[in-house]
Amino acid sequence: MDFLSGVATRIFYAIILLLAVLVLNFTLIHLAPGDVVDTIAQSMGGADAEVLAKIRAEYGLDQPFIYQLSTYIGRVLSFDLGFSFYYNMPVTELILQRIPATLLLVITAQLLAMFVGVILGVISARRPNGVLSNFVTFFALFGYSAPVFWTGILLLITFSLNIQWFPVAGMRDVTVEGGAWVHFVDVLRHLVLPVISLASIFLALYSRLARATMLETLGSDYVRTAKAKGLPDHQVVYKHALKNALSPVITLAGLQFSAVVSGAVLVETVFSWPGLGTLAFQSILARDTPTILGILFFSALVVIVGNLVTDFVLRMVDPRMRAR
């Protein structure tokens, strides 16, 4: 019951936080300089005062701020994110078209960074003064200090333009013909460089944290007791020590999920990946307010759900967390 009540409490707080994000996003967009109606009129080639007034009435921009805010929240609660005047289609439909590409990029990069980072951290912790441990330290400093867009550009120049191992941009090659396996390999080839670019900075964080927590765990009493009982070294490390050392890594993964989503905007722009990041960039240039608000809402939803999932996974992995 304690576990279920804790889950219900966190879900309730997540809903309150999501509503607060909705209000904050709408308020900041409303306070931003410029007039959306002027942008719409410019896309039409210009308009007189009468047409501008009709546009304001059509989008509800002639109403008081509180009325606009309450109307927007009501629409969002009914899964209506508005209508994009730049793309001329519902924002919900527009975002749903881009979600798979962004989720594929973000989740793959996060899993790759955690998996490789934990492996490097564990191996370097077993030999803290070895060559591999020093390499992990150097790699972590380099990966963390390099901007993700700079890494992406270097990978693009090296492996797409010079060596030509991977495609330059996009998610699919429209000229590729064949069955499902052929298209799967095509998407995978397009995915490699964006995933490496996005995962590089977070892989450095996970490897350093995994190394530090494993060093601390390997020096604990229960590990020494397990070794004294004659258990094999790999069983002590991977069955006893690693399970407890994973808790900080999982916690960091949840905290860094928002950074992964924001980093995806830069990566998608560099590689022309057809996801929410590219959509956000284009919508900002076009001052497409409904689309921008929709992307901000979905990004907040992904981050909040990601933190909830991280909390639940942490409770399952670490028995000490289940009573909290």
- As a whole number of angstroms, the distance between CA 306 and CA 13 comes to 14
Q: What is the DSSP letter of 226?
A: H
In this prediction, the residues of the chain whose per-residue pLDDT falls under 70 are 1-4, 6, 34-49, 51-52, 55, 58-59, 128, 174, 218-245, 254-255, 257-259, 313-324
Supply the pLDDT for residue 237: 64
Q: What is the DSSP string of 92-144?
A: HHHHHHHHHHHHHHHHHHHHHHHHHHHHHHHHHHHSTTSHHHHHHHHHHHHHH
Supply the pLDDT for residue 233: 63
- As a whole number of angstroms, the distance between CA 212 and CA 203 comes to 14
pLDDT in tens, 26-71: 888 877 776 666 666 666 655 666 766 776 776 677 777 788 888 8
Supply the pLDDT for residue 290: 84
Supply the pLDDT for residue 148: 78
CATH class of the domain defined by 92-321: mainly alpha
Residues 6+ apart with CB under 8 A from 151: 196, 197, 200, 201
Supply the pLDDT for residue 48: 63
Two tokens at 225? 């007791």
- As a whole number of angstroms, the distance between CA 64 and CA 61 comes to 8
**Residue 152 class from Cβ within 10 Å (0-12 exposed, 13-18 middle, 19+ buried)?**
buried
Supply the pLDDT for residue 238: 62
Distance of CA 24 to the CA centre of its chain: 20
What pTM was estimated for this model as a whole? 0.74
Residue boundaries of the structural domains of the chain: 2-90, 92-321
Two tokens at 173? 């090659």
- As a whole number of angstroms, the distance between CA 259 and CA 202 comes to 9
> Which stretches does DSSP call E strand in the chain?
83-84, 89-90
